[in-house]
A and B are shown apart, each in its own frame.
Chain A
Amino acid sequence: MGLDLSMTVLIVDDFATMRRILKNIFRKLGYSSIIEADDGTTALEALKKEKVDLIVSDWNMPKMSGLDLLKTIRASSQYKDTPFLMVTAEAQKKNVIDAVEAGVSNYIVKPFSQEQILDKLEKIFE
């Protein structure tokens, strides 16, 4: 199955810089429906307002971390099947294991290239 460029992507990161970089990459890949949130709690608010097809989230954020957001999503009857890509500087083995156990769809480590993002999307949606 190819990538569906009409899907809505939710980018969650407390750093505006990273949201901007990811947004630019997704736009270059052909996605136009992109929404943003600056931490886990605002991401949950955004999910209530709009149907989201992919969540791309940082790990290390104030208030609600990416891991806590992932656990909340997977525990929700409404959003539990939403693909979740963790994009983070936290790449130690324990972090990866924790994310996999919590049900992450895939995991990408900063720094990353556009090609690496595309590769992860293809793996998630293959």
Chain B
Amino acid sequence: MDFEAKIETTDLNLYYGDFRALIDVNIRVPARNVTAIIGPSGCGKSTLLRCFNRMNDLIESTKVTGRIGIDGQNILEPDTDLIALRRKVGMVFQRPNVFALSIYNNLKFGLRIHNMLSRRDQIMQTIQQGLEQVGLWDDLKDRLHRSAHSLTLEQQQRLCIARVLILKPDIILLDEPCSALDPIATLRVEELLRVLRQHYTLVIVTHNMQQAARASDFTAFMYLGRLIEFADTHRIFTNPGEKLTEDYIRGSFG
């Protein structure tokens, strides 16, 4: 497949202690597209996702070998600036994890950590842009001082996405971002992802195959730590190349 790869792994292996969670994973993630990672529980999809911003470093006894290139740079190099990496590669989690702060301060927090802006008018403008990008500005512009916990789950999740966006990332990782949302909220967030991919590279882990089919351009199927198949989503869901992929998406095994 011919595309510009934003992320490229070479012989990526990850061990949690003695357990080999990722086995010789070679994946190329296309720039400015949505790539979904699907597979049964325990297949390594969240582990792979967390490699892309080195969040696995926070888990004890993790060992990683191989290469993870982002824009050609190997992020496994020991001198990698992890703070800069995690700004460039943002993450959204399963349950919205807004801080116990106002909506305004939730967004300002990241800007402060990364020394991005100091002038109040610049901060406000950036916050407005972030909220506009996620479709929250109109609803929240008069309530920015209110606690982020006063928002609905869907709004909180959008706020988490906005929090990532205002740091001007290149890549957004989403780990089952709609699991806590109702079906309509899920569709609305998926629509948001469709719009965001014009400017960002998105990788979404989901246990919901229908979501992967609806919301992604490319799909990676993982099983027992290996990448079994990677293709454009149309191909995966109409005529997959591997029997294992076909069996999984048809529901022949759990």
Q: Are A and B part of the same complex?
A: no
Please report A residues at the B interface, Cβ cutoff 8 Å.
Answer: none
